[in-house]
Structure 1
Amino acid sequence: MNGFINRGTGLLLIDVTNSNPNGDPDRESDPRTRQDGRGEISPVSFKRKLRDLVAAKDGPVWKELSRELDLPEAAFDILESKATKRADVRALSSRELLDRYWDVRVFGTTFLEEENGEKGSFISSGVVQFGLGVSLDPVRIERMTTTKVLPVEEDKTKGMAPLSFRVVSYGLYAMPFFINATAACKTNCTSKDIELLLRLIPHAYKETASYVRPQVDIRYAFYVEHDRARGTYNDFRILEALTPVRADGAAGPAASWRDYDEKALQRSIAQLNKSLAGKTAPVRDLMEAL
């Protein structure tokens, strides 16, 4: 293993304005919501963006980070990619699979569970686990019909997409993530693999913006590295201290980031850092790297 990995606890605060951070295919691509009205972002959706940044070998993010971290391109392919051919993957040994695919070492895979003849060769659980992103408050969903100058049908003068633009007017989502050093023994995940992940996170939404996601970005990407592999502080207390509260005490949908008490959040972080002293590194905001 290239470098020792300690346990890590993180929390992403994802700021969404007039955007759809994660469409629900069961609801005509409406922004995902739960029964209490709060919005959701699936872990799969977020990890897809990280994979895409690594897969884009001609892109500026990969070029810069691979140069800074001295990463060999051959060891940072993406298994869960449209370019991946199952026949090619089946021909690889377990070791070759891990040596080649970054996302297998970091996130694990069930890709070969039914296809690889080697008993126990597939990796079902990875080192890094992202939790469900849930908005701190209920969200309002706005829908409107859009038009196209160039219609899909030849006999039409313009195209109409009734209620196709479906967005959250505003929402602040909290997505926890964890680094489990024990799993690294099975996936051969290295410290460089994790450092790449941490450096990719600030670019996840900026570099993958789209028509329905023009204003989705990470306001804070908090990360705490424990002093040992098996952890040195309670994850729940870290996450609770890093979660903002409403400045006005209201319970309905928020209108903007200004509805949250940032000063109280900074005080909470300062108090948390006192409790973490001698047990973990101080709270780190990965967005400061930008």
Structure 2
Amino acid sequence: MTSLQHKIDFAVSIAVVNTNPNGDPLNGNRPRTTSDGYGEISDVALKRKIRNRLQDAGETIFVQMDERSDDGAKSLSDRFNTFLKTLPKDVQKQKQAVYERVCKQWLDVRSFGQVFAFKKTKDVDEVSLGVRGPVSIQSAFSQQPIAIDDVQITKSVNSETTDKGGKSSDTMGMKYRVSGRNIYVTYGSVNTQLAEKTGFSDEDADKIKEALTSLFDNDESSARPAGSMQVIDVVWFTHNSKSGQYSSAKVHRSVSFDDRGHATVSETDIPGLHYDIIEGH
């Protein structure tokens, strides 16, 4: 496959309804907020969901969740070292050759990048292998300040039997969620120069685009019940060159989202730039 031929920018709107978008609500994990009260979903959390959707689609992913591991590896180091042993001995000692092999092997590596432990030997000077990926994504922030509901909960059964037969202390807890319906927005881009180095292709870009439209498919949990989070719109900009017609900042500023999360693009700000508005799942 040839590497990416056109710079790409994107913007995504996400609806969050009476839920905690950031983690387990029973573990003292309050929804993230900025200092001025706006809600936040971290870029790390968004990349995790993209990886999960790619893995659901059958792609080979390096950074897998323990409960979703499809190769039995107990750690990233185990996964990397197991793969390294499949390479010829002479290739294992060549940093550039290993770089090319890991990018080819794992889609998330050639997309987001990764740092691998690389054992120092008499034939190898470097002690680590860094891959800088072409796909970047920002944290998502709410369009308006959010309110957080603190709800006290009581479990119906004890985790352990008490001496007096009463309720144990672990039956009491707090549940945190973002109140009401809120729209979060994130932005990202794909750099063609870095894509050339990792081998990231147009086909890979299409896979990332599909993952963005379906971020919350198969993502239900106690923190995020089914239907509580939804991608509303993905705006996908395709420039006519590798360097891009406009800066990513200017492209991102051309997009606005209404209070339902639907996108509008100011074409007068970016004349001639092709874009698609894709409805989320």
TM-score band, normalised by shorter chain: 0.7 to 0.9
Task: Give the residue type in structure 2 aligned to 1:284.
Answer: D
Give, in angstroms, the shift of residue 131 of structure 1.
Answer: 0.7
Distance 1:49 1:88, change over 3 A: closer
Task: Give the residue type in structure 2 aligned to 1:166.
Answer: Y
Distance 1:287 1:121, change over 3 A: farther
* Counterpart check, 1:146 vs 2:138: no
Distance 1:116 1:99, change over 3 A: farther
Distance 1:243 1:157, change over 3 A: same
Between 42-51 and 208-217, the greater mean CA deviation after superposition: 208-217
> So what's the TM-score if we normalise by structure 1?
0.75
Aligned residues: CA RMSD? 2.7
Which of these residues, 213, 222, 226, is aligned with residue 224 of structure 2? Answer: 213
Q: How many residue pairs end up in the alignment?
A: 247
Q: Residue 110 of structure 2 contacts residue 195 of structure 2 at CA under 8 Å; is this kept in 1?
A: yes
Q: Which residue of 2 aligns with 1:79?
A: 62
Structure 1: distance between partners of 2:6 and 2:219? 29
Bigger strand share: 2
Which of these residues, 177, 188, 206, is aligned with residue 167 of structure 1? Answer: 177
Distance 1:177 1:218, change over 3 A: same
Task: Give the residue type in structure 2 aligned to 1:101.
Answer: W
Write the deviation string for residues 204-258 of structure 1: whole angstroms up to 9, x where unpaired: 113212221131111111111111111102323322231236xxxxxxxxxxx35
Task: Give the residue type in structure 1 aligned to 2:278.
Answer: L
What secondary structure sits across from 2:171 in the alignment? strand
Distance 1:207 1:87, change over 3 A: closer
What secondary structure sits across from 1:109 in the alignment? strand
Q: Which residue of 1 aligns with 2:14?
A: 14
Bigger helix share: 1
- 1:21-170 correspondence to structure 2 within 5 Å: 21-23=21-23, 28-56=28-56, 62=57, 76-81=59-64, 82=66, 83=69, 84=73, 85=75, 86-90=77-81, 91-92=83-84, 93-110=98-115, 112=116, 114-117=117-120, 119=126, 122-155=129-162, 160-163=171-174, 165-169=175-179, 170=181
Give, in angstroms, the shift of residue 203 of structure 1.
Answer: 1.2
> So what's the TM-score if we normalise by structure 2?
0.77
Structure 2: distance between partners of 1:193 and 1:30? 35
Give, in angstroms, the shift of residue 134 of structure 1.
Answer: 1.2
Q: Residue 10 of structure 1 contacts residue 222 of structure 1 at CA under 8 Å; is this kept in 2?
A: yes
Task: Give the residue type in structure 2 aligned to 1:132.
Answer: S
Structure 2: distance between partners of 1:285 and 1:150? 49
Structure 2: distance between partners of 1:116 and 1:193? 30
Q: Residue 147 of structure 1 contacts residue 161 of structure 1 at CA under 8 Å; is this kept in 2?
A: yes
Write the deviation string for residues 262-281 of structure 1: whole angstroms up to 9, x where unpaired: 6xx64xx2x41x55443x21
Structure 2: distance between partners of 1:122 and 1:186? 14
Give, in angstroms, the shift of residue 23 of structure 1.
Answer: 4.1
Q: Residue 136 of structure 1 contacts residue 174 of structure 1 at CA under 8 Å; is this kept in 2?
A: yes
Q: Residue 60 of structure 2 contacts residue 106 of structure 2 at CA under 8 Å; is this kept in 1?
A: yes
Distance 1:134 1:152, change over 3 A: same
Bigger radius of gyration among the two: 2
Give, in angstroms, the shift of residue 54 of structure 1.
Answer: 2.5
What secondary structure sits across from 1:243 in the alignment? strand
Distance 1:238 1:143, change over 3 A: same
Distance 1:122 1:186, change over 3 A: farther
Q: Which residue of 1 aligns with 2:206?
A: 195
* Counterpart check, 1:285 vs 2:277: yes
Structure 1: distance between partners of 2:24 and 2:156? 27
Give, in angstroms, the shift of residue 124 of structure 1.
Answer: 3.8
Structure 1: distance between partners of 2:31 and 2:24? 6
Task: Give the residue type in structure 1 aligned to 2:279.
Answer: M
Runs of 4+ in 1 over 4 A off after TM superposition: 156-159
Distance 1:151 1:229, change over 3 A: farther
Give, in angstroms, the shift of residue 197 of structure 1.
Answer: 0.8
Structure 2: distance between partners of 1:209 and 1:228? 39
Distance 1:6 1:24, change over 3 A: farther
Distance 1:24 1:152, change over 3 A: closer
Q: Which residue of 2 aligns with 1:253?
A: none
Distance 1:244 1:52, change over 3 A: closer
